[in-house]
Structure 1
């Protein structure tokens, strides 16, 4: 399993060297966009609308838009300084709470933690202490240049980090439109709803749930692949230097003809009439 990050978990005076691994993976089927005419993959470019040209990576800076079209530019040095200050703290457990005290709306992404060199004993100590007390640790850590709030808990004998949202990242339910007030329901309807819930109640078994759409999409792709309904992107045409040279010469010749000054017409002279004429 790929190691995403190495650091330490600290609580009190205990420091545990750990490695972090992604606990989940995205199984979405990624579809590419092709040009219908030639079946070539579409490219996306970073273009400056003012300069009207593609911008290279070394020409791009980061900025925060605090009002419309007003930006505060942030240098890489500034961001790195903040990142280093936070990284030094690693994963610092600041509180221990009960898991049921945190609503699932706060949970974001899961990561497995394994002990790094010399951390096996301390890792086992924290794992056993969490299991025996029934508590989870609330911690702060840096992931991808962002300070994350997280919880440390045990899942199937493995310590897991669950990143969670900060309170100001969870939208207020008062902002949700058209939520009805408490409406009195009839006893018969309520009893029937409860009966239905009881009949459908079972023990949670994640293995029985599957992504039907993804399975159907993969089956469709295999079917088309087996029946030769495939396409191959065309290679980018190689410039023909001879043709390019001929076109350039012809264009230059046409331009030269256009720009060539017209020859001057000889002035017509008129004879002065003599007295005898």
Structure 2
């Protein structure tokens, strides 16, 4: 396999065991890499690790873990001491339980990986576990130690392999109560709700992640390319990404305009949020528009 595994060990279900490798399912290598540089020289800035008290540089071999037991009180932990507390999950994912995938709250999902059999001898046992899970419609729950931390892992059949998603612990999830308890219920009218439902129905389509692009990343690349060519001018792509338009007066008007836009096939505007007021018109501008309207009406009567 071309990719390099982030973790290698064994997958075990009771007495069935097989050699597996864990591979990242996502990548950020396509992102534009930006660094902190010196404005004067254009050179990258180098960070130096120093002692917080003596302000003297600390060599890599002298850098160890220090666990905080009280404010400003740290207990040093050596690398060999960490090795002594190695758990079984350091080398083995033991499937401890099974559940329906739908039972797992989306907030607990952290990072996805691909889990694959590492050798020909392991493929049969791996396929047995994978196919049994697929037949029963179940996901497995286990643990593994990765990046010096034990993590819960959710295992699901995925093609010829398994999708292994690291889960957050319960104490890492914040309760929504503090954010939602003071939120007003709102009193949308039946007409507003009906218009919103029509918008949803018109915009409903099968999910395709390829239709979404990182527009900020594109604008940033265009900006970098423009500066790299020493033109000093913002490209059209950058200007287009930064442009906003629209003049939404209130929620009902926004819904009606959205429906009209959908029916006409015109692109939806990306202006102010619904519920915000448009800037006040100047008295002179309003008077001029009224005069123009009266002249137009008088011409029509004369005709």
Range into which the TM-score falls when normalised by the shorter chain: 0.7 to 0.9
| Further displaced range: 22-31 or 172-181 | 172-181
Q: Does 1:157 align with 2:160?
A: yes
In the alignment, structure 2 segments of 5+ residues that lack a partner are 233-303
Structure 1 residue aligned with 2:9, among 7, 10, 25?
Answer: 7
Please name the residue that 1:69 is paired with: 72
Question: In structure 2, the residue corresponding to 1:83 is in which secondary structure?
Answer: coil
Q: Which has the higher helix share?
A: 2
- Could you tell me the TM-score, scaled by structure 2's length? 0.69
Q: Tell me how far 1:160 sits from its aligned partner.
A: 1.2
Q: Tell me how far 1:67 sits from its aligned partner.
A: 2.8
* Correspondence 1:43-192 to 2 at 5 A: 43-83=46-86, 85-88=88-91, 90-117=92-119, 118-176=121-179, 179-192=182-195
Q: Tell me how far 1:193 sits from its aligned partner.
A: 1.9
Aligned residue-pair number: 228
Distance in structure 2 (CA, Å) of the matches to 1:24 and 1:216: 23
Distance in structure 2 (CA, Å) of the matches to 1:203 and 1:2: 33
Q: Tell me how far 1:170 sits from its aligned partner.
A: 0.7
**CA RMSD across the alignment:** 2.1
Distance in structure 1 (CA, Å) of the matches to 2:53 and 2:230: 48
| Further displaced range: 47-56 or 10-19 | 47-56
**Structure-2 change in CA distance of 1:197 and 1:41 (3 Å):** same
Question: In structure 1, the residue corresponding to 2:96 is in which secondary structure?
Answer: strand
2:89–2:143: 8 Å Cα contact kept in structure 1?
A: no
Deviations 1:120-162 (A, max 9, x none): 1112212211221111101111111110001110223331111
Please name the residue that 1:195 is paired with: 198
Distance in structure 2 (CA, Å) of the matches to 1:47 and 1:98: 49
**Structure-2 change in CA distance of 1:224 and 1:35 (3 Å):** same
In the alignment, structure 1 segments of 5+ residues that lack a partner are 230-277
1:20–1:113: 8 Å Cα contact kept in structure 2?
A: yes
